[in-house]
Amino acid sequence: EHIANQIAAGEVVERPASVVKELLENAVDAGATKIEVAVEEGGLLRIRVKDNGSGIEPDDLETAFYRHATSKITHGRDLFQITSLGFRGEALPSIAAVSKVEVLTASGDDGRGRRIVIEGGKLCTHEDAASPQGTEFVVKELFYNTPARLKYMKTIQTELGHISDVLYRMAMSHPYISFTLRHNENTLLQTLGNGDLLQVVAAIYGTSAAKAMLPIEGENLDYKISGLISLPEWTRANRAGMSTIVNGRYIRNYGLNQAILKAYHTLLPINRFPLVVLQLEMHPSLVDVNVHPAKLEVRFSKEAELYEFVETTLRGILRQEVL
């Protein structure tokens, strides 16, 4: 069991940013409206994620660290109708196998909670403790017991860059959740959680970027599309500013990016790329999120129709504005 956890950890926990991603996904799944992340030394020394979500029931706290102890799938067929972000039950045991984890959680608002400490997969403390409703994870000294892996970590700036990317994606995918990112003593991101995607874009890319954004809107029987796309005032030399979100999940899909670029480049400079946040909503059966363990890659069941819809919707919006 212990070895299995370390092996699984190798797949789930590649670097500090992977820990942040898993903890953020759990906080979102727990219905949090406010999530604070604070990291030290690029997350290698300490990662803290605090949410105001449902909390973990006292009896479930220890079990949450067993492999495949997900509370999110109750029937086999649920695998085909996934709406929550996490569903494999591998994150917590994996993280706990290669770090020192402390969790403080309460599932009610009477101040009574539980605290658990697990180091290198071994349970050290499990006790009653005062806690506001929600959950706070502290992950210390990642890879302290796997020196070979620790050696592969890049500079603090590089690890921090990956963590910021994770926060940006989460914030863009969830404009109704307030996210904060702090590194050492500096606040790097603060979103309000009031549903305003433009505020999120301003917090990530700056206010002048936000001023160049045009709203995206469209709908047909299968798909609902929304988001923001930049006009020529704010284009970039690469695709790094292109974000696609499907049912609240940040994803990467080549065809979708191509559809956006086809629409963009018929009207705007061919060698520049837009800043774009494209949000798609569709029935879960139209998208397969189980393609890749990192859950970034997805497959669409009617992809040609989807790409066509995205392209024509964007072209219509851009044409109106540019001509």
Instruction: Give me the residues that bind ligand ADP (CB under 6 A), please.
Output: 22, 26-27, 30, 51, 53-56, 64, 69-72, 86-92, 135
Q: Indicate the Cα dihedral angle 173, 162, 35, 98, nearest 10°.
A: 130
The Cβ of residue 44 has, within 10 Å, a number of other Cβ atoms equal to: 21
Closest C-alpha to 43, from 149, 163, 154, 152: 163
**Residue 284, token pair as written in the block:** 């879960």
Q: Is residue 274 a contact residue for Mg ion (CB under 5 A)?
A: no
Q: Which stretch binds Mg ion (CB under 5 A): 89-97, 162-170, 173-181, 205-213?
A: 89-97
Q: How far apart are CA 121 and CA 165, in angstroms?
A: 28
**Binding residues with Mg ion: total (CB under 5 A):** 3
Q: Which stretch binds Mg ion (CB under 5 A): 6-14, 84-92, 159-167, 175-183?
A: 84-92
- Give the ranges where the chain is alpha helix by DSSP (H): 2-12, 16-29, 91-97, 147-150, 156-173, 197-205, 207-211, 254-267, 303-322
Q: Which stretch binds Mg ion (CB under 5 A): 91-99, 131-139, 174-182, 305-313?
A: 91-99
Smallest distance, Å, CB 278 to ligand ADP? 26
**Residue among 40 and 60 whose Cβ is closer to ligand ADP:** 60
Instruction: Identify the residue among 5, 6, 18, 26 touching Mg ion (CB under 5 A).
Output: 26
CB 246, CB 82: distance < 8 Å: no
Torsions phi, psi for 180 (to 5 deg): -130, 135
**Residue among 103 and 245 whose Cβ is closer to ligand ADP:** 103
Smallest distance, Å, CB 86 to Mg ion? 3
CB 43, CB 160: distance < 8 Å: yes
Instruction: Identify the residue among 91, 103, 142, 277 touching Mg ion (CB under 5 A).
Output: 91
Length of the chain, please?
323
**Residue among 105 and 257 whose Cβ is closer to ligand ADP:** 105
Smallest distance, Å, CB 241 to ligand ADP? 29
**Residue 287, token pair as written in the block:** 């998208």
**Residue 249, token pair as written in the block:** 């999940």
**Residue among 65 and 205 whose Cβ is closer to ligand ADP:** 65
Smallest distance, Å, CB 88 to ligand ADP? 5
Instruction: Identify the residue among 43, 86, 175, 274 touching Mg ion (CB under 5 A).
Output: 86
Query: 225 is in the binding site of which of Mg ion, ligand ADP, none (Cβ under 5 to 8 A by kind)?
Result: none
Smallest distance, Å, CB 286 to ligand ADP? 22
Q: What is the DSSP letter of 132?
A: -
Q: What is the DSSP letter of 131?
A: -
Smallest distance, Å, CB 279 to Mg ion? 22
How far, CA to CA in Å, does 122 sit from each of 5, 68, 185?
11, 17, 31
Smallest distance, Å, CB 95 to ligand ADP? 8
